[in-house]
Amino acid sequence: MAKQSAEARVELLTTAPIPELIRKLAVPATISMLVTSFYNLVDTAFVGRIDTQSSAAVGVAFSAMAFLQAVSFLFGHGSGNYLSRQLGAGEFEDAGRMAATGFFCVLATGLLFAVFGTIFIRPLSLLLGSTPTILPYTIRYLRVILLGAPFIMGSFVLNNQMRCEATHV
């Protein structure tokens, strides 16, 4: 959406036809989710050139990445929804506190996932479906994902919060 006044945005959101609003608001969100899926696809394609075990390990670790994304969306959508409502009500200080709370809570959660996931990486890999043949590859790939979990999750939350905030800026 082009930058416009708060009054113009309220006017748009309350009077524009629903299909037009869905296109304007849902398309960027859909593109964002597709980019994440394409990242995993490209990752698998490049790793697949190494050998089949590495490619299988990426497939097993993908479910962990999907879990991190889902938990991030929990924090991002929850805080973003509240943030959006507070911005609409003109409660900017409260909105800022919620944005910070959502972001720092997901960073702490990501840190917990990184620490405990790394400690229990072998049983986690087996739980996710790794076989003994690909276990060493899964552990190496999953370790990188887990170490980046706080940053990955933080970026997802900020993305969701910015999307929710966009209608009020």
What is the Cα–Cα distance from 40 to 65, expressed in whole angstroms?
A: 9
Residue 118: inside a domain, yes or no?
Answer: yes
Residue 76: inside a domain, yes or no?
Answer: yes
Q: What amino acid occupies position 132?
A: P
Q: Which helix (H) or strand (E) holds 86?
A: helix 52-88
User: How does residue 132 score in pLDDT terms, banded at 50, 70 and 90?
Assistant: very high
Q: What is the pLDDT, as a whole number, of residue 2? A: 47
Residue 130: inside a domain, yes or no?
Answer: yes
- What is the total count of domains within the chain? 1
Q: What is the pLDDT, as a whole number, of residue 3? A: 54
Percent above pLDDT 70 for the chain: 92
Residue 88: inside a domain, yes or no?
Answer: yes
How many residues make up the chain in this entry?
169
The 10s digit of each residue's pLDDT in 29-80 is 788 778 877 877 787 778 778 888 888 888 888 889 889 999 999 999 999 8
What is the Cα–Cα distance from 64 to 159, expressed in whole angstroms?
A: 20
Residue 160 corresponds to which tokens in the numbers above?
A: 């969701």
Residue 5: inside a domain, yes or no?
Answer: no
For residue 54, give every residue at least 6 positions away whose Cβ sits within 8 Å of its Cβ, in sequence order, or none. Answer: 47, 48, 137, 141
Q: Supply the Cα-derived Rg of the chain in whole angstroms.
A: 19
- The whole-chain average pLDDT of the chain stands at 85
Residue 4: inside a domain, yes or no?
Answer: no
Residue 29: inside a domain, yes or no?
Answer: yes
Round to the nearest angstrom and report the end-to-end CA distance of the chain: 10
Supply the range of the domain harboring residue 37. 17-165
